[in-house]
């Protein structure tokens, strides 16, 4: 009788091990292949980033992402705004990815739009009346490693 119990116990144990291995094999082969997303090679690009790219760049690489969405045909001040953003990106090219996205005004409202984001926060503005000083303040508020210029504020001018 004892040998019968031993055979049943061995059979049950073997069945459990085989079923766990079979389940693990089936689950492993059931996963869809994950395509590796390519990160941008430059720091100024002309297309929107995917959510995975944004997550990877902001979290893994500590980048500040700047999206500039504008309609070049219907925005007279977008050229200077674009130049200010490119200057910022050139100055801090190791910390910034600038995505310049041209769109048609018929498809979007409240253009241009500027959105900056990093691990520590976000800043955004809509409309063409954004000064270079506002851009700098927005950048300083979200950049992960603020430059010295963010800490040093110019003294207010004496009004006499």
Q: Are the CB atoms for 19 and 27 separated by under 8 Å?
A: no
The architecture CATH gives domain 44-151? 3-Layer(aba) Sandwich (3.40)
Q: Are the CB atoms for 128 and 81 separated by under 8 Å?
A: yes
SS3 100: strand
Where does the chain have alpha helices with state H? 2-29, 51-55, 78-91, 132-142, 148-151
How many angstroms separate the CA atoms of 119 and 40, rounded? 19
SS3 55: helix
Task: Provide the pLDDT for residue 96.
Answer: 94
Q: Who's near 16: CB < 8 A, 6+ residues apart?
A: none
Task: Provide the pLDDT for residue 22.
Answer: 75
How many helices, marked H, and strands, marked E, lie in the chain?
5, 5
How many angstroms separate the CA atoms of 88 and 98, rounded? 9
pLDDT tens for the chain, 160 residues long, are 577 788 888 888 888 888 888 777 777 666 665 566 788 889 999 999 999 999 989 888 999 999 999 888 888 788 888 999 999 999 999 999 999 999 876 666 677 899 999 999 999 998 878 888 898 899 999 998 888 888 876 656 555 5
In DSSP terms, 97 is beta-bridged to 65
How many angstroms separate the CA atoms of 139 and 133, rounded? 10
Task: Provide the pLDDT for residue 140.
Answer: 92
pTM above 0.85, yes or no: no
Cis status, amide bond into 67, omega within 30 of 0: no
């Amino acid at each position: 009788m004892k040998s019968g119990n031993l055979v049943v116990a061995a059979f049950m144990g073997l069945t459990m091990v085989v079923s766990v291995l079979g389940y693990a094999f089936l689950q492993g082969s059931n996963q869809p292949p994950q395509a590796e997303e390519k990160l941008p090679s430059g720091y100024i690009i002309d297309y929107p980033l995917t959510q995975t790219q944004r997550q990877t760049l902001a979290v893994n690489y500590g980048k500040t992402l700047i999206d500039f969405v504008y309609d070049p045909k219907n925005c007279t001040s977008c050229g200077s705004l674009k130049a200010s953003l490119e200057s910022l990106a050139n100055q801090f090219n190791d910390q910034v990815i600038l995505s310049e996205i041209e769109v048609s005004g018929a498809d979007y409202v409240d253009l241009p739009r500027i959105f900056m984001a990093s691990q520590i926060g976000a800043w955004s503005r809509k409309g063409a009346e954004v000064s270079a000083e506002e851009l700098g303040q927005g950048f300083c508020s979200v950049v992960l490693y603020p430059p010295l210029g963010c800490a040093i504020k110019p003294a207010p001018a004496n009004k006499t």
